[in-house]
Each structure stands twice: as C-alpha cells, then as structure tokens.
Structure 1
Amino acid sequence: MKLNKVHHVAIICSDYKSSKHFYVDILGLKPLKETYRKERISYKLDLALGNEYVIELFSFPNPPKRLSYPEAAGLRHIAFQVHDITEAIEELELKGIKTEPLRIDELTGKKFTFFSDPDGLPIELYEV
C-alpha cells in the first residue's frame, strides 16, 4: 500500500453555529457542501483550504468533552502553515482569538504558535 496524502481531518463540535463561524469566518476556510442528517440530528460541513478539501466539521447532540490539557493519548492537533506568523497572529487577535506565546521549533528554527477552536481543539500555526 502506498499512501498519497492526508485526505481530510474530521472534527466533531458541540455548537455547530459557533464552530462554523470560527472555521469559515475566522480562519477563512471555504464551505464546499453542507448537509443536515436528520436521522443523526447532525450537520456535516465539508471545508476547503484554497481548493483543497481539508476538514469535515460534524455536529452531534451532546458530544463528550475532548481532553486537551493535560495532553491525552491520540491525535493531538491540526496545524496550518503560514508565510508570516506575526501577521497571522495579529489577524487572529483582531478577531478576538488569543494565541499562545510565539515559540521556535528547536529542530527547524521555525516559528509556531497555538490557539484553540470553540471546543478547545488545539490548532497550530507554523511559519514556513
């Protein structure tokens, strides 16, 4: 088997309206298709970064909380690359999103930071 690339990341949110606003209006991802699944009382929103499909945003009634701190075993976070991390941080802060202090990757020397989505999911920005 040869894997080609990551196809998408699935995110389950507790408040669909809030999370949709965050991923579309704050982060600027492009909605591709929105589906309401009546039998599951659930929305599914397919989101793209540029023209590339990257995230499936799901809503379910009363999903259990995700443990982020302390870090639990399993998938840790989603990371987006940016060309100017200082500019990206300033834009997030203007939109009311707080970021962690800027850090330097000790292995690559690149700058990065973290912030959270409405459910506390850690999101990384990594400067390339």
Structure 2
Amino acid sequence: MKIEKLHHIAIICSNYEMSKRFYTKVLGFEIKQEVYRKERDSYKLDLSLNGMYLIELFSFPNPPKRASFPEASGLRHVAFGVKNLKSWKDYLESSNVSCQEIRIDEFTGKQFFFFNDPDDLPIELYEI
C-alpha cells in the first residue's frame, strides 16, 4: 500500500469573492468547477494549476478564525514551487500582497518566502 500523490488541499475562506479573486487572479489558479450548495449556504470552488487539481476553496457562513499564526496544531502552511522567486515576490507586492523577506533554506540552499491569503493562511513560495 502506498499513497500515490497529493489529491487536493481544502481551504475554508471567510470572504468567498475576495478569496476566489486572490487564488485565480493573483496566484493564477484555474477554475475547474464552481458549485453553490444551497443547503449549506456554501460555495465549493475547485482550482487547478497546470491542469492538476489542487485546491478546494469553500465558503461557509461565519467560519471560526485560525487559532494562531502559524504554530497551531494541524496544517502549518501550504507551499508551492516556483521559478524566478524574486519576480514572484515583486509581483505579489505590486498586487498589494504583503510578503516576508526572502530566506535561504539551510538544508537545501534554496530560497523561499511566506505571504498570507485573505484569511491569513500562510503560503510559502519555494524556489525550484
């Protein structure tokens, strides 16, 4: 028995339109499917990157806030591999996304930095 691949990451947002715009317009994810679930008063947005399904973005009425940043038990952050890390940082900052400084991974020598989505979910971009 073995796990074959990561299937998707589920994210619950507090402002659906803002998060939809952030993930599609700023980060460049493509909409695979968008469904409104009336019984839950909730949207489910399936997002892909380079044809690979990666994120389920959910909206629910009044979701609780994240416990702490980023040291709460559970998922710490989501990381995406990118080329041209500095260009990505410049692009995000020009899109009014606040970014931390670029750091060097002491084990791999690769560069990375963190920023937050509209609900303060920490996202890492890692040089590939």
The TM-score bracket by the shorter chain reads over 0.9
Q: Which runs of 5+ in 1 are unaligned?
A: none
For structure 2, list consecutive stretches of 5 or more residues without a partner in the other structure.
Answer: none
| Counterpart mapping for 1:64-75 below 5 A | 64-69=64-69, 71-75=71-75
Change (3 A) 1:17 1:102: same
Q: How many residues are treated as equivalent by the alignment?
A: 128
**What do residues 28-67 of structure 1 show as CA deviations (whole Å, max 9, x unaligned)?**
0000000000000000000001100000000000000012
Counterpart for residue 11 of structure 1: 11
Partner-residue secondary structure (3-state), 1:92 = helix
The 3-state SS of whatever aligns with 1:58 is strand
Distance 1:71 1:89, change over 3 A: same
- The alignment partner of 2:114 has SS state of strand
SS at the partner of 2:115?
strand
Matched-pair contact (CA < 8 Å) for 2:70–2:122: no
Give the TM-score of the pair, scaled to structure 2: 0.98
Q: CA RMSD in A?
A: 0.8
Q: 2:59 aligns to what? A: 59
| Number of the residue aligned with 1:116 | 116
Alpha-carbon separation, structure 2, partners of 1:44 and 1:70: 25
Normalised by the length of structure 1, the TM-score is 0.98
Partner of 2:102: 102
